[in-house]
Structures are given as structure tokens and as C-alpha cells.
Chain A
Amino acid sequence: MTAGAAVAARSSTATPRSIEPWIWAAIALLAVCLHLGRAAVPWAATFPAEWTLPAQTWVSRFVKWLYQDASLGLFTFQELTRGIAWVLQWPLEAAKSLLSTGFERGMGQQAVLIWPPLSWVGVTGVLTVMSCYARDWRLGLLVCGCFLYIAVFGQWHSAMITLSSIVIAVPLGVAGGLLLGILAFRHPMFERAITPVMDLMQTVPVFAYLVPILVLFGFNPVAAMIATIIYALPPMVRNTTLALRRVPTEIVEFGRMAGCSRRQLTWRVMVPAARSGLMIGVNQVIMLSLNMVIIASMIGAGGLGRDVLTALRSLDFGAGLEASIAITLLAIALDRLSQAFAARPPSASSPDEFRPAWRRHPYLLAATSVVAASWLLGWLIPAVQQYPEELQITTGALINETMKWLNVNFFDVIEALKAWVLLNLMVPIKRLFVALPWVAVVAALAYAGWRLGRWRLALLVAALAGFIAVTGQWEKAMQTLYLCGLATLVACALGIPVGILAARHERLNRVVQVIIDTLQTLPAFAYLMPVVMLFRVGDFTAMLAVIAYAIVFPIRYTIFGIRQIDPTLVEAAVASGCTRRQLLWKVQLPLAIPEIMLGVNQTILMALSMLVITALVGTRELGQEVYIALAKADVGRGVVAGICIAFMAIIADRLIQPWVAAHRHRLGIA
């Protein structure tokens, strides 16, 4: 083919650059016309109510049928769910008794305590010993400090209820994820089948699948734990397949040459060789389970989550903040501990293998003796068994006082700030988004899809957007888009410069890394509490919470994008006389753009998931729909709104990913 023919072929498949702005202008013009002429063509401006499909009713009816009539041959679906709940109830009860309530005989008022729970000294001691074993005494100190805080600030009882559900949910999630992951690794068909399901599970906001679980399993701790497991499972599955795939071929070949059977190959060669990758998955399961703690309390989990939720609902910030901090500390302790176990090499070589057992396992011995000693002492000194109430500190009152003082003295300033932003920025943008005619928006999305991925992507994007319109969620979706878009914009505007600075200054980078690591450990709800304390409820508060939650991602991806540039390119630029500014604008940023865009993509996804949680502070978008559905146990309403949010996330993802791929390809770094 000649060069001329090649150019001609390309221009016939791609719109020449020169007319692209005109097409966008035409779409904008269409939007304006449709808006102005909304009296003439009302169906194009706002989606007509009579066209909507009763998807909500269908979903509700289906779940009702599932629950009431569905039969799986030997037993009904209802019996199945009850069976699952019954099986899961036992370990959960046992863990709760062990950690929190103690073992009792009898019911209600007549209950007699026959065996006390592990004392606070015992639990703290065991976890401290585990930390020393997994890494060093510094980690031990950190974990010990976290649990001491929980005891001193009177959060012990709730924290142990939370911990008991984590202790059961995490192993189940890990085991389930591991098995599914191995299956997916072995059978590509199975993998192809579960990948879209997991994609949807990770993009549908958690609240949305709380609703069917609520209906199927009821309002109780077991239902909450099932929700937690489902929520935490997908990353474990993904990590398992990924880690198994990354086991070096030679190791697998060795296993086969050694004559391993399939089972031996999986369990004795591949899984141990994939250990570090699998442990990342375990860590994620722990973190997601903790993230779920507060949310799960909406369908019956007790513990810290419920404390936060109650405090949030009654605007008792002092109590809420303390419980939030307790969750955060629990998360930090478990996160660092599991990471330490992940990074821990197999036990160091000991030349002398014939020492007595207690010499070979000093940590096991220490942990057992801590438990035994605290149990014995617990009988003698009640303070060892239960942290004495008179020594508890509560900052609740202090915080509430401070809040009162802040509100008395700075109410005007805060309110003025809030009102100014709302009036001049948020409300106009919200109006603009809501006024956008749906036909124009779908057209714009489809055109963007066509530009990036031809007909397939155009059709996909238009279909997803169309679903939102057809199910009658358009206006709420636009409100979601406005809040999410604004929050993403602000998060990126703040985060990208911070990322650039950090990438260029090693010292700053170290500080920033510690901060973003900590921020990522915090459960989503923890962001809500302080903002609500200062700004009360409303869109402004929601936006701030979303920004705080999502800002980590533009920072992290920007740093990564700039750092991963081939150092010789930077050296070449410096050698050819670039100033630092030129280096940034002419070399580093253009090369880091793909990673930064992936960061934006992640920010959007995180913002959408956080929006659902901010529904608690009274926004009026899709998240609120899900929240209301949860309160009313209206399955159809919750699921449909949840799917709409997932579709918005998928649209953003599917448009940004090919853009990044194309850009990388152009840079030759595909």
C-alpha cells in the first residue's frame, strides 16, 4: 500500500481533526435548541414518564417470587437462605461470645454467665505478640496503642462485636475468594462468566445489594455478615487468579516434572508460590470488611458501626467521632498487622531443629501465657477482665462543647462560605445539568464512544445511558453527575498539583505517602463525621466528604505517572538544557498524562461510591434513592438506582480506558 492510500484509508475511518470541534458545537447547539424549544418537543428535553419501563416493579416482583415461591427441587429458596443464615450464625455467635459477651446459659434475663469473654488485657496482649512475631516491637507498640485507645475511650464492647464479625467474615471471604479464584484460573470459561458479575458487584454501590439481602436474610448480624462477605469477595478472586497467573512458568513446570497430581500442583506448589500476591488479597478483604462495618450496621450489624450510625442520625458528634476513630484505629491495626504477615518471609533458618517445642515457638508460648495469665488474673482483679469504667475517658462532651463554641463564634463565617459556594457555584451547575436535554447528553456520549471505540463503544455507552433514562432515573442521575463531577474536578484540581510537587521532591513525597496511606485506611464514613460537624447537612457537605475521600487517587496516580517515566528521558531533557519548568511541561506531564487520566477515572469511581454514603446527609440524587429504598426495604427501587449508579461508573470507565490506551499508543509506551 502506498503512503497516500494509507492516509486515505485512515481518514475514511476516522473523522478528520478539523471537523471534530464542529460536531461538538453541533451537539451543544442541539442541547440549547432542545432546551429552548422544550414546549414544542417535551419528550426530547425531559424523558416522558409514560415511556418509562416499570423495571423497579419487575425486580421487586422477582425477589418476592424468589423469596416466597421459588423452589430448587428438594428445598425452596427461602429454606436455602435460612439454611445459610443458620450455618453462619454459629461461628458468628461463638466469636461474639469469645470476644465480647462471654458464654451464657439460658435466655434473656435468666442468662447465667458460664465463661467470661477474653479480657481486654488478653486480646490486646495476643495481638501485640502477633505483631512482634509478624514484624517487630514497633508494630507491636502501634497495635497495642490502638487497642489501648479503644479500651480507654470506652469503645471496647462495641469494638469487640465488630471484631468478632470481622474474625468470621474475613476467613470466609478469603476461603471463598481463593476457591473461586482457583476455579477461574483453571477454567477460562468460568472466569469469563464471573468477570462481568464481579465488575458489577464492585461498581454497584453497597447499599444497593443490602436491599435484597435485607429482604432475603432479614435484619440481623448474619445478614450483615453475608453482605460484608459478598462485598469483600471480588478483590480476593481477582488477586487469586492474578497471583496464580504470575507464578513463574518454571515453578509450575518443576511441579509437573516432580510428578505432582493436579491437587498437589495447586496446593503444594502454586498456592504457596503465589503467597505474597494472595496476601495482598487477604489484606484487601480485611480492609473492605472494615469499610463495610458501618454500612452493614444498617441491616443489623452491631458494634462500632451502629454507634457511628446512631450518632450520625442523632447528630451526637462527640460519640460519633469517638466510634469513628475507634473503627479507624481498628482498621489501621489490622491493616498493618496483615501487611506485616504478608511481607514476612518464611521463618528465618534455625540451625538447631532439635530444641524443645517451647523454645522453637516463643511467640506461641508468649501468646498462650498472656491469655492464661489474663484469665487467671481476671478472676482475682476485675479490672483485668473488664476495663474499669471510672478510668474511661470520654471526649464526647468536650467535642460537643467545642462544636458548640465553633458554631457560636464562627457560625456566620462558615455559613457565609457555604452559602457563597452553593449560590455561586453549585446551584448554577446543578441547574445546568438538570436542564440538559437527555437526547443531547446521550448523543454526546455516543459520539465520544464512537470517537474512541467506533460503533461497539458508541452503542454500549448509549445503551447504558438509555437505561438510566428508560427506568425514569434521569433527573436523579443528573444530580449525581453534578455532585460527582464537581467533586472529581475539585479533587483533581487539588490532588494533581500535590502529586506533581511530591513526585519532584523526595522529602515531601515521603510525607505525602504516609498521609495518603493513612487516608486510604479510613472507612468511608469516617470522612463524613467531621464535615457534618462543621457544615451540617446538604450538598455542600456531601461534596466536601466526597472530595476528602477521593483526593487520594489523583495524588497517588500523578506521583506514579511522573515517577514511572524512563529516567533516561528526563536526563536527556536536562542534558539538552531544559529548565525545571520546561522539564515539567514539556516532558514529564505529557508522558504522565495516561496515568493521571487513570487516576481521574479512579477518582470518579470512588466519588460515585462515596456519594451513596453521603446520602445520609440529605443529598437528592441516586444515592438517596438507594438509601430510601433500604429504609423501606423496597428491593426494586434500590436495585434499579444502584444499577444506574454502576452504569454511570461503567460509562466513565469505558470512555477513559480507550482514551488512555490510544494516548499511550501514540506515545509508543503501550
Chain B
Amino acid sequence: MADPASNDADHPVRGARSIKLACRGLWKVFGTSAGRFQEMLPGTPSAADLHEAGLIAAVRNAEFAIHEGECFVIMGLSGSGKSTLVRCLSRLVEPSAGEVLFDGRDLLKASERELIEIRRHKMGMVFQGFALLPHLTVLGNVAFPLEVQAVERHARETRAREMIELVGLKGRESCYPRELSGGQQQRVGIARSLAVKPDIWFLDEPFSALDPLIRREMQDEFLRIQSVLKKTIAFITHDFDEAIRLADRIAIMKDGEIIQIGTPEQLITHPATAYVSEFTRDVPRAKVLSVRALMRAPGGQATFAGQVRADARIAAVARQIVESSQPHAVIDGSAGLVGTIDRQQVIDLLVRQDGGQERQK
């Protein structure tokens, strides 16, 4: 398993921002003899050890940190423990061991009352099945989290109307959930989860229950909202394409274990295991990789057809590079010239799916 700490460190943007939510040595085991698990700690019992004790680990020793304003995607197939993990982070599911640090404070030590306060003011969650209350209108649903905090009617409805407008449902305030399409229902779910201005926003497979076209539209909507609000996000999905579209960083889970954490680009260029490369195989690389990942070190060449930025996606500059037989200079803001890239490299990447990786070596 890749060390999460080092992953954080070598990411260019992270260092500056503070950590919003982190977990250390987080475990969730299911089984009748939970007491036996406590005896195995501290230590990292293997799956076989647990099996012997009649236990199943849904989350095994999870460790990561989500930074302020970051969209952190937890990706895994069904049964990989990703939903349990996100529920452990909000203590909807009580973890068996470990720490969940929210603004530096261990959530697992919070009392029931404190937890209610934290959930009321600092957390929002969107669910796969929408989880709208059938007896309330759109307005009532969005205002509900404020209503349980006893916010007075006018204030909470004003706030709810703002949120409804944000997700583009203005005019449907007095509809009931059953009168809306799936996509619209999830928009209500999103508006509702944002009504309390949460510090951390959990989204549990929010678009998995939607048709592919609607899903794409909702992802765009999500990106738009995120560009405005800049929330700290824990986003669960089983769809790798969705993950690379939305994520700043992705954690890949398998059998309860996080096997790699990294930016989409890192996962493609440096997959930790064969399992990860299996996921990344069919990804359209040009859309994920940046020029930096593909460029060669500058080799004394003087004539360039033009310049491209090192952090530009290949897909965005491909046409420009391919149209010229001369290589392009790769520049990185302050550092100036950092490498070169030519037509052949880009064509190889576009034509051969595994081209990028070969070039890299």
C-alpha cells in the first residue's frame, strides 16, 4: 500500500491547505465476536486472522487526510467497503477502532449530543437512493435539516429557496418527491445537504442510480456547484470514469483496504498494483495526463513550434502539437522551460492506449 503521507507531500497543491478530515488506523469489523478483535489490536490482523475469529473486516486500517476544499473520491467495486468507510467518517456506522479527526478533533470521542451538533452544523450528506422524505415538498425537504435545528420558518425557507435555485429547481418548490424525475430528486438531495452550509460534504454514490446521460449532466452540475462553493468533499463511487472526472485525489479500495491514494494522473502513471492498472487501462489518457507526464527533458534544442503549459491536459493541446512537425516547448510558470514535447509522443498516446506508460519509462 502506498503511504498516504508521502502521497500528500509530493502533491504540489496540498501542502498549503489545512487538513479538514483525516482518519488513522480506522477499522470496522463485523461479526458476533467483536471482543476478539479488540484483543488483536494494536497490530494489523490479516484477513485470514479475522476469518479465523469469525469476523469480517469492511474497513481495514484506513488512513488518509482530506484537505480543505479538496474533492476526495473513494472508489471501489461493490463490497469493497467504501460505503462503510464513509459512514464511519460520519459515525453513522460506529468504527471498531481508530481515529477520525475532524478539524483536528477525534469524532469517535464525541458524545451523542456533540455529534448531533456537529451533524447539524458541519456535515451534509447525499445518498444513492436520494432518501427524500415522501411526506414533505421540495421546500420542506430542503428546509428539513434547518427545521430540526429549530431555525425559524422564514429564515429556513429563505435559505432553502436559495439552495433550490442553486441546483436549478426554482419553480418546483411545492412539488412532492414522487412528482420529480430521478435527476431532479437528486438535485433536491444535493440542495438539502447544502442547506446547513456544511464544512464537509459526503456524497455516497450520488449519481449511480441515474441514467448515463442524466449522470453526465449531474456530474457537470456538481462541478459547477463545487467551483462556486469549494466544499471539502468525500465522494463515493464505483465508476472510475466518474472518479477521474471529479476528483482532486482518488483512494482505491479493495476488500476493505485502501490500496492506493493519488491524483488521477498518478494512478495512471504509477499504478501501485495490477488491480489499479486494471481500472486505469481503458481510461482515455489524453484527458487525464498532463503535458508534464509526457514531456522529455529539454535537450539543447533551440527551435520550437510554440509553447504549451506543463499542467495542461494533453487532450487540450493535442491539436496544436500534432499540427506542427517541430516539437513544442513545455514551460512551467515560474521555472520557464522544463521540457519538450513533439507530435510523435502525442500520436502514440492517442493511438495506443498504453503509450503513455511506455513513454514514461
Do A and B assemble together? yes
A→B interface (CB under 8 Å): 248, 250-251, 253-254, 256-261, 264, 268-269, 272-273, 275, 345-346, 349-351, 353
Look across to chain B and name the residue whose beta carbon is closest to the beta carbon of A251: B131
Look across to chain B and name the residue whose beta carbon is closest to the beta carbon of A268: B148
Contact string against A for B residues 149-164, beta-carbon threshold 8 Å, 1 for contact and 0 otherwise: 1000000000000000
Closest 6 CB pairs of A and B: A259-B120, A250-B131, A259-B119, A258-B145, A254-B131, A272-B135
Stretch at the interface among B174-182, B241-249, B311-319: B174-182
B130: chain A residues at CB < 8 Å are: 250
Assembled-state Cα–Cα distance A396/B127 (Å): 64
Q: Which of A250, A251, A268, A349 makes the CB contact (< 8 A) with B137?
A: A349
B149: chain A residues at CB < 8 Å are: 259
Look across to chain B and name the residue whose beta carbon is closest to the beta carbon of A259: B120
The smallest C-beta distance from B158 to any residue of chain A, in angstroms, reads 15
Contact string against A for B residues 112-148, beta-carbon threshold 8 Å, 1 for contact and 0 otherwise: 0000111111011101111101111100000011011
Query: Size of chain B's interface in residues, with CB distance under 8 A?
Result: 33
B127: chain A residues at CB < 8 Å are: 250, 253-254
Q: A259-B119, A264-B148, A349-B137 are in contact. Are A254 and B125 (CB under 8 A)?
A: yes
Can you give 30 contacting A-B residue pairs, CB < 8 Å? A248-B129, A248-B131, A250-B127, A250-B128, A250-B129, A250-B130, A250-B131, A251-B133, A253-B127, A253-B131, A257-B123, A257-B124, A258-B120, A258-B148, A259-B116, A259-B118, A259-B145, A259-B149, A260-B148, A261-B116, A261-B148, A268-B144, A268-B147, A272-B134, A273-B135, A275-B134, A346-B135, A346-B176, A349-B179, A351-B174
The smallest C-beta distance from A227 to any residue of chain B, in angstroms, reads 34
Assembled-state Cα–Cα distance A268/B144 (Å): 9
B116:A257 contact, CB within 8 angstroms: no
Assembled-state Cα–Cα distance A350/B137 (Å): 10
Q: Does B296 contact A (CB under 8 A)?
A: no
The smallest C-beta distance from B30 to any residue of chain A, in angstroms, reads 15
A353:B135 contact, CB within 8 angstroms: no
B145: chain A residues at CB < 8 Å are: 258-259
Assembled-state Cα–Cα distance A272/B177 (Å): 14
Assembled-state Cα–Cα distance A272/B135 (Å): 6
A260: chain B residues at CB < 8 Å are: 116, 148
Assembled-state Cα–Cα distance A299/B176 (Å): 48
Assembled-state Cα–Cα distance A268/B178 (Å): 19
Q: A258-B120, A272-B134 are in contact. List 18 more A-B contacts (CB 8 A).
A: A250-B130, A253-B92, A253-B125, A253-B131, A254-B127, A254-B133, A257-B123, A258-B148, A259-B118, A259-B119, A264-B148, A268-B147, A272-B135, A272-B136, A275-B134, A275-B135, A346-B134, A351-B174
The smallest C-beta distance from B163 to any residue of chain A, in angstroms, reads 14
Assembled-state Cα–Cα distance A275/B127 (Å): 21
Assembled-state Cα–Cα distance A273/B178 (Å): 13
A258: chain B residues at CB < 8 Å are: 119-120, 144-145, 148
Look across to chain A and name the residue whose beta carbon is closest to the beta carbon of B176: A346
Look across to chain A and name the residue whose beta carbon is closest to the beta carbon of B147: A268
Q: Does B14 contact A (CB under 8 A)?
A: no
A264: chain B residues at CB < 8 Å are: 148
The smallest C-beta distance from A53 to any residue of chain B, in angstroms, reads 42
The smallest C-beta distance from B352 to any residue of chain A, in angstroms, reads 43
Assembled-state Cα–Cα distance A483/B260 (Å): 73
Assembled-state Cα–Cα distance A253/B93 (Å): 10
Q: Does B90 contact A (CB under 8 A)?
A: yes
B116: chain A residues at CB < 8 Å are: 259-261
Assembled-state Cα–Cα distance A275/B135 (Å): 9
A256:B119 contact, CB within 8 angstroms: yes
Contact string against A for B residues 281-300, beta-carbon threshold 8 Å, 1 for contact and 0 otherwise: 00000000000000000000
Assembled-state Cα–Cα distance A269/B133 (Å): 7
Look across to chain A and name the residue whose beta carbon is closest to the beta carbon of B193: A257
The smallest C-beta distance from B21 to any residue of chain A, in angstroms, reads 15
The smallest C-beta distance from A282 to any residue of chain B, in angstroms, reads 16
Considering residues B130, B133, B175, which has the most beta carbons from chain A within 10 angstroms of its beta carbon?
B133
The smallest C-beta distance from A90 to any residue of chain B, in angstroms, reads 33
Q: Which of B117, B119, B133 makes the CB contact (< 8 A) with A257?
A: B119
Q: Does B215 contact A (CB under 8 A)?
A: no
Assembled-state Cα–Cα distance A156/B20 (Å): 71
Considering residues B87, B124, B125, which has the most beta carbons from chain A within 10 angstroms of its beta carbon?
B125
Q: Which of A253, A261, A269 makes the CB contact (< 8 A) with B87?
A: A253
The smallest C-beta distance from B315 to any residue of chain A, in angstroms, reads 37
Look across to chain B and name the residue whose beta carbon is closest to the beta carbon of A349: B174
A350: chain B residues at CB < 8 Å are: 174
Assembled-state Cα–Cα distance A272/B147 (Å): 15
Assembled-state Cα–Cα distance A565/B119 (Å): 46
Assembled-state Cα–Cα distance A260/B149 (Å): 8
The smallest C-beta distance from B241 to any residue of chain A, in angstroms, reads 24
B129: chain A residues at CB < 8 Å are: 248, 250
A251: chain B residues at CB < 8 Å are: 131, 133
B125:A257 contact, CB within 8 angstroms: yes
Assembled-state Cα–Cα distance A264/B125 (Å): 18
Assembled-state Cα–Cα distance A527/B179 (Å): 44
The smallest C-beta distance from B50 to any residue of chain A, in angstroms, reads 24
B136: chain A residues at CB < 8 Å are: 272, 346
The smallest C-beta distance from B225 to any residue of chain A, in angstroms, reads 19
A349: chain B residues at CB < 8 Å are: 137, 174-176, 179
Q: Which of A257, A275, A345 makes the CB contact (< 8 A) with B178?
A: A345
Assembled-state Cα–Cα distance A250/B130 (Å): 8
A250: chain B residues at CB < 8 Å are: 127-131
Assembled-state Cα–Cα distance A349/B169 (Å): 15
A259: chain B residues at CB < 8 Å are: 116-121, 145, 148-149
The smallest C-beta distance from A360 to any residue of chain B, in angstroms, reads 12
Assembled-state Cα–Cα distance A351/B173 (Å): 8
A268: chain B residues at CB < 8 Å are: 144, 147-148
Assembled-state Cα–Cα distance A275/B179 (Å): 18
Q: A253-B92, A259-B149, A261-B116 are in contact. Are A345 and B131 (CB under 8 A)?
A: no
Assembled-state Cα–Cα distance A110/B170 (Å): 67
Considering residues B87, B123, B124, B127, which has the most beta carbons from chain A within 10 angstroms of its beta carbon?
B127
Assembled-state Cα–Cα distance A260/B125 (Å): 14
Q: Which of A253, A256, A261, A273 makes the CB contact (< 8 A) with B133?
A: A273
B147: chain A residues at CB < 8 Å are: 268
A353:B117 contact, CB within 8 angstroms: no
The smallest C-beta distance from A354 to any residue of chain B, in angstroms, reads 12
A346: chain B residues at CB < 8 Å are: 134-136, 176
A256:B148 contact, CB within 8 angstroms: no
A345: chain B residues at CB < 8 Å are: 176, 178
Assembled-state Cα–Cα distance A258/B145 (Å): 5
A257:B135 contact, CB within 8 angstroms: no
Assembled-state Cα–Cα distance A269/B90 (Å): 19
Assembled-state Cα–Cα distance A273/B136 (Å): 10
Considering residues A248, A258, A264, which has the most beta carbons from chain B within 10 angstroms of its beta carbon?
A258
Assembled-state Cα–Cα distance A154/B57 (Å): 72
A257:B90 contact, CB within 8 angstroms: yes
Assembled-state Cα–Cα distance A85/B126 (Å): 51
A275: chain B residues at CB < 8 Å are: 134-135
Assembled-state Cα–Cα distance A248/B209 (Å): 15
A256:B92 contact, CB within 8 angstroms: yes
Look across to chain A and name the residue whose beta carbon is closest to the beta carbon of B113: A261
Assembled-state Cα–Cα distance A273/B147 (Å): 17
B144: chain A residues at CB < 8 Å are: 258, 268
Q: Which of B82-99 contact A (CB under 8 A)?
A: 87, 90, 92
Assembled-state Cα–Cα distance A259/B145 (Å): 7
Assembled-state Cα–Cα distance A272/B141 (Å): 13
A257: chain B residues at CB < 8 Å are: 90, 92, 119, 123-125, 202
B90: chain A residues at CB < 8 Å are: 257
Assembled-state Cα–Cα distance A351/B171 (Å): 8
A353: chain B residues at CB < 8 Å are: 174
B121: chain A residues at CB < 8 Å are: 259
